[in-house]
Amino acid sequence: MKQLMFLASLFLSFLMNSNIFAASGSEAKINLELRVHIITNLKMKKERLEMECWLTEKDFDKVVLPELNKIWAPANISFTKGPLTYSPALEADDKEQLISNIVNAKRNSSGKSDPLRMESLRKLIDWKQHDNKVINIYFVPYLGETFQGVASTSRRGKIVRRSAFVGVYTDKPSGAKKKPQKFTLMERKQRFKIGSISRTLAHEVGHLLGLSHPDPKTQKKYGLVMGGKKPGYEFTQEEMVLARKNAVKISK
């Protein structure tokens, strides 16, 4: 009897520390609404390539959202699309300079972004369309050299603004040595290379749910959505627990 109880406890421990347990439905599914903004009237030019936001609502509904939910399924977190708007960029007097600040943004020696990049992008967005009660997704043409997405959480009193920005063009595969290329919608049944719009969105949503990049020097699990060594499409058990905890707060 003692041996059976010991084996049962080992099996339970295995389930508790595996993705199988997380996706088993033993915990209630948490659903989060997304407010989607496709930024139009925003042309960015780099190396004779003119970039505009080519993503459509159909692309999001048929490919991006289902793939996002597939990636997050092990954590039993799902996403639904709220209102989707095609939102024109604001016509600021210094619009061309703001665009230039974004297009020419580079990482510093520590891999950090030029803060002027996001300051400039925010000045081009009509924030009246933003819904502070949910996660807002902004699709833009391009986010600067080797950048594919960025997450931003800002607070003003009790109001929390959660935003994820994703570029539909990327030059990350070449390390910005070649001109940007159209970002694929998804990358299914392939070994991870550069990811996709769907995976990038899953990664940025992870940041909005409190997840950080793993430290490559100490990480033990590879193939993670949040990056580190050999990035991929999985989460650690600890990441899923933390994401669910924060998702519950957002869903209230």
Percent of the chain with pLDDT over 70: 86
- Domain span including residue 66: 30-251
pLDDT score at 160 = 84
202: left (phi over 0), alpha (psi -120 to 50) or beta: alpha
> Does the residue 22 lie in any domain?
no
For the chain, the domain total comes to 1
Rounded alpha-carbon distances, angstroms, from residue 243 to 27, 70, 201: 13, 16, 15
**Residue 177, domain CATH:** 3.40.390
Task: Say how far apart CA 122 and CA 105 lie, in whole Å.
Answer: 14
> Does the residue 12 lie in any domain?
no
Nearest to 148 by CA among 81, 207, 75: 207
Token pair listed for 60: 């999001």
CB-CB contact of 164 with 148 (8 Å): no
Above 80 in pLDDT, residue 119? yes
Nearest to 140 by CA among 122, 161, 154, 128: 122
> Does the residue 14 lie in any domain?
no
> Does the residue 237 lie in any domain?
yes
pTM for the model stands at 0.86
The band of 242, judged by pLDDT with boundaries at 50, 70 and 90, is very high
Q: At what angle do helices 95-103 and 115-122 cross, to 10 degrees?
A: 140
Above 80 in pLDDT, residue 121? yes
CB-CB contact of 152 with 163 (8 Å): yes
pLDDT score at 191 = 61
pLDDT digits (tens, 9 = 90+) for 148-207: 999 999 888 778 889 999 999 999 988 999 999 999 998 765 565 667 999 999 999 999
Instruction: Find the distance separating the first CA and the last CA of the chain, reported in whole Å.
Output: 45
> Does the residue 44 lie in any domain?
yes
> Does the residue 16 lie in any domain?
no
Nearest to 122 by CA among 83, 161, 75: 161
> Does the residue 74 lie in any domain?
yes
Task: Say how far apart CA 120 and CA 123 lie, in whole Å.
Answer: 5
Above 80 in pLDDT, residue 15? no
Task: Say how far apart CA 188 and CA 195 lie, in whole Å.
Answer: 9
> Does the residue 2 lie in any domain?
no
